[in-house]
């Protein structure tokens, strides 16, 4: 007999790599990302009854992460840590092929975006959520989502073209 | 022809258009090279972002996240990032940190196949699994081999011994838990040997044809781990490094 919480745990195990990836996009920092994933798992399991088996777990988890991250940003602001440096020289992988150089440039470009834009980019462009799902995760109207996404894309194109990265 | 905005091209690149609008955009793109270039840029950026963050998926998941999935919520206390960070940096013991005994129950269900390998034991090997050397029980045969060569983070299908956890004990030695179909134990590295610290029979060990290594460790073994664990268990990276170093520190 498997209860809903156990089902949730199983699905969370499979989802962990994507949660960590979204965390990385949002926080720009490896350890912060894992801290964020950890507390979001704890929050999710505390309110396991709110998740309905069969609905999108990724969206539900991204929403919890997004809210937890906003809490963290507010806490940092209260403590005067308004600026949190992005992690320097983060390389996933060791060789330096063109693809990996481009990947580093792209990740750095994303890190230069504002918090609102990073969330949208993470949800739609990296995690591949439909606009409607992404808007629900962020609790914003779909029109706000698409205009943020358009601005974030322009900003990314601008950053990447001035840095002369691989087109 | 309607004017194609950047926002429409963006929605096209993101697969957000209905079939009719999509074919309209495609017709427009086919007829206009500069429009095609703008569409290519939108799609290209999406692809670059996906490629840039793809490697993160292959990054080994840290033990603490698997543990959180398996054991949370230990209490109703909802943590914030500051306490997660403090716990990670070892400044404050997390009040809600679950005891290792919690692994027992969850191992059977959640992390089966993630942390713990299924094995097909050969009962005849257990008779010669240990021998006495220097007053200690030293692992031999399949158990010794399993302890030395298996990664808890990468279970070997079809192996005769399962290894679940690796950690450094308070004496600074590498220690690992293992199980077969009938017995589970904790062994620590002393010089060139794995010496047995604790062992316990596996509850409900079946006597029959197809038997698998215990997926849940007996409470006695978990308690022994709890007692000896110096810090956190090794993550996948640290474990692999330890294996490469021949379990010497």
pLDDT higher than 70, residue B92: no
Whether this model's pTM surpasses 0.90: no
CB contact under 8 A, B53 and A39: no
Question: Residue A33: which of B97, B59, B45 has the closest Cα?
Answer: B59
Which B residues, 158 through 197, put their C-beta within 8 Å of a C-beta on chain A? none
Q: What is the pLDDT along chain A (167 residues), one digit of tens a residue?
A: 457 788 889 899 999 999 999 999 999 888 899 999 999 999 999 888 888 877 899 999 999 999 999 999 988 888 776 555 555 444 444 344 566 667 778 888 898 999 999 999 999 999 999 999 999 999 999 999 999 999 999 999 998 886 544 44
State the count of interchain CB pairs (< 8 A) between A and B: 145
CB contact under 8 A, B49 and A102: no
Give B-chain residues touching A10 at CB under 8 angstroms. 109-110
* Out of B44, B55, B109, closest to residue A92 by CB: B55
**What mean pLDDT value characterizes chain B?**
76
* Residue A41, H or E segment: helix A30-46
How distant is the Cα of B28 from the closest Cα of chain A, in angstroms?
A: 20
pLDDT score of B230:
77
Question: Residue B227: which of B192, B189, B194, B198 has the closest Cα?
Answer: B198
Give A-chain residues touching B115 at CB under 8 angstroms. none
More confident call, B139 vs B101: B139
CB contact under 8 A, A107 and B52: yes
How distant is the Cα of A58 from the closest Cα of chain B, in angstroms?
A: 14
Q: What is the mean predicted confidence (pLDDT) over B114-135?
A: 51
How distant is the Cα of B34 from the closest Cα of chain A, in angstroms?
A: 16
A76/A83 Cα distance (integer angstroms): 9
CB contact under 8 A, B14 and A10: no
**Could you report the predicted ipTM of this complex, rounded to two decimals?**
0.84
pLDDT, tens only, A84-100: 555 544 444 434 456 66
Mutation to test the A interface, candidates B4, B41, B49, B64, most A Cβ within 10 Å:
B49
Output the DSSP codes for B28-64: HHHH-HHHHHHHHHHHHHHHHHHHHHHHHHHSPPPHH
Give B-chain residues touching A131 at CB under 8 angstroms. 11, 14, 16
For residue A72, the chain B residue with the least C-alpha distance is: B81
Q: Does B16 touch chain A (CB under 8 A)?
A: yes
Convert B93-123 to b/e letters by CB count within 10 Å (16 or more is b): eeebebebebbbebbeebbbebbbbebebee
Question: Residue B40: which of B48, A97, B50 has the closest Cα?
Answer: B48
Rg of chain B, C-alpha, whole Å: 26
CB contact under 8 A, B110 and A106: no
pLDDT higher than 50, residue B122: no
């Amino acid at each position: 007999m498997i209860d809903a919480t156990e089902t949730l745990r199983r699905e969370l195990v499979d989802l962990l790599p994507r949660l960590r990836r979204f965390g990385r996009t949002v926080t720009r920092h490896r350890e912060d990302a894992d801290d964020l994933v950890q507390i979001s798992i704890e929050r999710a399991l505390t309110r396991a009854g709110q998740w309905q088996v069969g609905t999108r777990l990724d969206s539900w988890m991204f929403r919890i992460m997004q809210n937890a991250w906003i809490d963290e940003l507010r806490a940092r602001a209260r403590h005067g840590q308004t600026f949190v440096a992005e992690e320097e020289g983060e390389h996933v992988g060791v060789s330096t092929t063109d693809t990996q150089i481009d990947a580093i440039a792209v990740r750095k470009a994303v890190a230069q975006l504002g918090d609102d834009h990073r969330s949208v980019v993470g949800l739609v462009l990296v995690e591949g959520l439909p606009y409607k799902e992404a808007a629900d995760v962020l609790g914003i109207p779909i029109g706000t989502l698409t205009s943020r996404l358009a601005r974030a894309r322009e900003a990314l194109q601008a950053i990447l073209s001035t840095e002369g990265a691989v087109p | 022809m309607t004017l194609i905005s950047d926002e429409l091209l963006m929605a096209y690149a993101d697969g957000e258009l209905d079939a009719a609008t999509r074919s309209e955009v495609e017709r427009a793109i086919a007829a206009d090279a500069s429009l095609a270039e703008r569409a290519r840029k939108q799609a290209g950026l999406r692809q670059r972002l996906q490629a840039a963050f793809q490697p993160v998926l292959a990054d080994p998941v840290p033990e603490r996240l698997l543990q959180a999935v398996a054991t949370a919520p230990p209490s109703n206390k909802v943590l914030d990032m500051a306490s997660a960070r403090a716990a990670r940096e070892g400044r404050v013991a997390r009040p809600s940190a679950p005891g290792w005994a919690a692994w027992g129950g969850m191992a059977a269900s959640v992390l089966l196949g993630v942390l713990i390998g299924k094995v097909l034991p050969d009962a005849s090997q257990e008779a010669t699994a240990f021998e006495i050397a220097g007053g200690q029980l030293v692992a031999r045969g399949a158990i010794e081999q399993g302890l030395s060569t298996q990664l808890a983070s990468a279970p070997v299908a079809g192996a005769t011994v399962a290894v679940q956890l690796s950690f450094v004990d308070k004496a600074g030695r590498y220690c690992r838990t293992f199980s077969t179909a009938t017995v589970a134990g904790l062994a620590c590295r002393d010089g060139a040997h794995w010496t047995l610290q604790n062992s316990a029979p596996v509850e409900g060990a079946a006597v029959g044809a197809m038997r698998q290594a215990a997926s849940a460790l007996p409470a006695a073994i978990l308690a022994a781990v709890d007692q000896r664990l110096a810090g956190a268990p090794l993550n996948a990276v640290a474990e692999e490094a330890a294996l490469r170093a021949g379990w010497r520190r």
